[in-house]
Structure 1
């Protein structure tokens, strides 16, 4: 057994009387990749915030031993100085600064108290080589994609002589190619002696990369699994995460043939004046009543743009083509018109676009349909509570009360609130954009179960997803997009990961 670089003993953390962590024990050996897994709300991020000094010494019980010494971090800079770097899911970069300025932000190369910008650029180039990122250091971060920004965050950590690198859901917003590149880099950093803790909900990634995996549930340590002993397997992980076996992550449903079209697009195009190009080109697709249509494709393929163009043209594209909905030819010029027609859209970015994080659960659920519970401009609060309680119960939102702020909920429960908000408008067509991004396997199963229930009640769903397993597991038919075009349509019986990827990488005309 190798030397432990990190030992966290009996960590207990409370928030206003609620225990987020209870006597958690967590050990990481030097030079290993150790995954930290569990359902949303299990305590993973809280534990890492204790470790990194976000929650300072004295606000929790227990001991942190790092590199052989007991630590009392009072702020993030203390843990950074000790050699710990944490990269959160929401990247902490300055978009209007250059790559080299971001890499050395707060850690500038100085001589005699003056920043040496020439040497900064030279060192930035060396670090960029280490993370295998071929970009000009003078490039503004806002001009780079998410995958490259993730690598810049790692470059920042390497500039500070990191010993322990913590990655919180590092591939949540990445496509499969960028995800694989990142995992490859983590393996290479291991070879260079850097220890890594990775929080991930993607079990296939955990299985492929972890030397060990520790499972948290309800703020407590459940077990540590060892790959060398063959313990890191999907069924074992799921059972320990959720406390029960989930034999089929994609719940079965009876598929009923119904050829009554609820939506049909004919030669549908969307031109983005800001980008100066078409983001959707000559799309032809249809959705039958009571079916789930999956939209697959790589990042930047135009999937979200397609959804927004259907949902009342939320970004003011210049539109061409026909949109038939529920038997009528429509020209939807605003999301409010789409909602009135019976279309709802659950955004991929629940924190920035989907929810009011500073408001409570009931306010969020009622937000898209206040008119239905108002009279003469006054909200019937009793009706609002009744409606919100119904969705909280039916969607299994885990919260202390309807007055709990949505920003304090786990990712999975935030997603359920976002879903409840749009179900309250009683749509005929529900567009789900990355419906399970960043949520755990138990919450995913619950979302899928809700989707099946909605379909059984006659609703139709368009599901955009970057997870091919999800697209294959939940869809009745699949459209694949590349460069703003639909490159193929696949009945589920003919769809495989291979032919989806083949269509997703086609170069359009």
Structure 2
């Protein structure tokens, strides 16, 4: 290998209560496609932010073109020639292609920004990428996903990038657009530009990659693996296993009751299709899959927060109106969303107000809320879940992540919910609180509540759910009792497996 363009040695990054990176090593050569693999939570996103200057490492060294550096802000990394294209493209839809490409470093003439120069240089960059057909003056919001990605690459090249980090670049692309992306990447690497390529799709890694580095639990567990010849089972073996202990309650010996929820041929354009499953009373069903596979979208569509294009959702055999949260709640559903702080909680309000939010009508009389009854019933529910501190007048923002999640669940228990939808129920929750939440979810199921949950952590899905649906690229590719699946099998299905015909 030639002299490394980038070398990371012993990178450590700690956040309160979490050691996100625990001694990461990575070496990238000029003109290579270096693939970075790891499960959700392995540390890939944190590593990207360290490389881009968004985070500062607590320990370790970064060598760039032979010299030790420290990127104190993202602009420092960009100016050095290291650009990042995030999965969620950070483009401004209302600006033109040229304005996005040179945003923050506009060409100037006599002290004034020159739109003509920006458009001319943008056309040159688009031509270099093989996409001269994209008009430099068109608003970015009018471009398809593939066009926006090309604009992001042009912006990286406008900074004379020597290394481009691509985070799940194919997630929003059709098959023919992925082939074009690969052509662009090959053109870049032939010109000496290095690419760090992050993807869960092993077929893509084999087609475009040169070498592979694998992260697990914030550590480098494999380096210099040949991308094209390393067997899938070896990659999966290296990615599986965790340092975190998962303490799951024992599954109930009783058989789940009658079907509570029935989903038939549910679909939304470009998100998921042909999704069918049931959740029985007292049963926990888990949706396993990668970020972007469509799991959360399925959950939100069942709840009515997204309107289905096809298919039906039934509770107790009765169809629920598409796109109606009100109808879903009236039928007995409740959702604990992934982003609880921004989507579920009023952080400045007291606990009791957050918990009673979905049940205020019950406590209202002649247009006024009966505060005494409200606090009494909220207190009973929160005590049953051991929400701490026990004072329902405490501001929600003062509670820990685990207790905030308990508050969201309390809201739906107060509303006598019979089907609980949980999206990443333990995200941002410490290990001790996880065990409490697991016990709570299992206890609710034992009481006859149906649970449909999404989690990015495969051990969590397998340990908590009774039955698992594996979701890959918007389709359910496998369904089985959780006890019949292993972590390696699930990862194989979501990363490289073919669609499996299931029977129920």
TM-score range, shorter chain: 0.5 to 0.7
1:135 equivalent in alignment to 2:134: yes
Q: Secondary structure at the match of 2:424?
A: helix
Deviation at 1:346, TM superposition (A): 8.5
Q: Which position in structure 2 is the counterpart of 1:7? A: 7
Deviation digits for residues 94-121 of structure 1, max 9, x if unmatched? Answer: 1211122111111212222222212211
- Alignment check: 8 A CA contact 2:11 2:23 kept: yes
Deviation digits for residues 310-365 of structure 1, max 9, x if unmatched? Answer: 644x4689x99997653335557731321332456788x86998666989xx99x9
Deviation at 1:367, TM superposition (A): 9.5
Q: Which position in structure 2 is the counterpart of 1:60? A: 58
Task: Tell me, in whole angstroms, the C-alpha distance in 1 between the residues paired with 2:82 and 2:119.
Answer: 24
- Structure 2 gaps, min length 5: 243-254, 363-370, 389-399, 407-421, 428-436, 482-496
1:328 equivalent in alignment to 2:329: no
- Alignment check: 8 A CA contact 2:471 2:477 kept: no
Q: Which position in structure 2 is the counterpart of 1:472? A: 477
Q: Which position in structure 2 is the counterpart of 1:41? A: 41
Task: Tell me, in whole angstroms, the C-alpha distance in 1 between the residues paired with 2:474 and 2:310.
Answer: 30
- Alignment check: 8 A CA contact 1:261 1:286 kept: no
Deviation at 1:14, TM superposition (A): 2.5
Deviation at 1:224, TM superposition (A): 0.5
- Alignment check: 8 A CA contact 2:212 2:227 kept: no
Q: Which position in structure 2 is the counterpart of 1:151? A: 150
Q: Which position in structure 1 is the counterpart of 2:120? A: 122
- Alignment check: 8 A CA contact 2:13 2:22 kept: yes
Deviation at 1:303, TM superposition (A): 12
- Alignment check: 8 A CA contact 2:307 2:322 kept: no
Q: Which position in structure 2 is the counterpart of 1:247? A: none
Task: Tell me, in whole angstroms, the C-alpha distance in 2 between the residues paired with 1:11 and 1:306.
Answer: 37
- Alignment check: 8 A CA contact 1:207 1:234 kept: no
Deviation at 1:62, TM superposition (A): 2.1
So what's the TM-score if we normalise by structure 1? 0.63
Q: Tell me: CA distance 1:447–1:382, structure 2 relative to 1, closer, same or farther (3 Å).
A: same
Q: Which position in structure 1 is the counterpart of 2:248? A: none
Task: Tell me, in whole angstroms, the C-alpha distance in 2 between the residues paired with 1:53 and 1:303.
Answer: 31
- Alignment check: 8 A CA contact 2:259 2:316 kept: no
- Alignment check: 8 A CA contact 2:206 2:227 kept: no
Task: Tell me, in whole angstroms, the C-alpha distance in 2 between the residues paired with 1:311 and 1:131.
Answer: 42
So what's the TM-score if we normalise by structure 2? 0.63
Deviation digits for residues 272-307 of structure 1, max 9, x if unmatched? Answer: xxxxxxx89xx9997667699x9xxxx9xx999998
Q: Tell me: CA distance 1:496–1:223, structure 2 relative to 1, closer, same or farther (3 Å).
A: closer
Q: Which position in structure 1 is the counterpart of 2:491? A: none
Q: Which position in structure 2 is the counterpart of 1:206? A: 205
- Alignment check: 8 A CA contact 2:209 2:228 kept: no
Q: Which position in structure 2 is the counterpart of 1:89? A: 87
Q: Which position in structure 1 is the counterpart of 2:331? A: 341
Task: Tell me, in whole angstroms, the C-alpha distance in 2 between the residues paired with 1:320 and 1:196.
Answer: 39
Q: Tell me: CA distance 1:303–1:21, structure 2 relative to 1, closer, same or farther (3 Å).
A: closer
Q: Which position in structure 1 is the counterpart of 2:489? A: none
Q: Which position in structure 2 is the counterpart of 1:505? A: none
State the superposition RMSD in angstroms.
5.3
Q: Tell me: CA distance 1:167–1:265, structure 2 relative to 1, closer, same or farther (3 Å).
A: closer
Task: Tell me, in whole angstroms, the C-alpha distance in 2 between the residues paired with 1:356 and 1:188.
Answer: 48
Task: Tell me, in whole angstroms, the C-alpha distance in 2 between the residues paired with 1:100 and 1:346.
Answer: 41
Task: Tell me, in whole angstroms, the C-alpha distance in 1 between the residues paired with 2:87 and 2:38.
Answer: 16
Count of residues in Structure 1 that have an aligned counterpart in Structure 2: 411
Q: Which position in structure 1 is the counterpart of 2:77? A: 79
- Structure 1 gaps, min length 5: 245-255, 271-278, 389-399, 407-412, 456-460, 477-494, 500-509
Q: Which position in structure 1 is the counterpart of 2:96? A: 98
Task: Tell me, in whole angstroms, the C-alpha distance in 1 between the residues paired with 2:498 and 2:200.
Answer: 23
Q: Secondary structure at the match of 1:4?
A: coil
Deviation at 1:403, TM superposition (A): 5.2
1:415 equivalent in alignment to 2:404: no
Query: Which of 232, 235, 240 pairs up with 2:233?
Result: 235
Q: Which position in structure 2 is the counterpart of 1:491? A: none
Q: Tell me: CA distance 1:315–1:333, structure 2 relative to 1, closer, same or farther (3 Å).
A: closer
Deviation at 1:263, TM superposition (A): 4.6
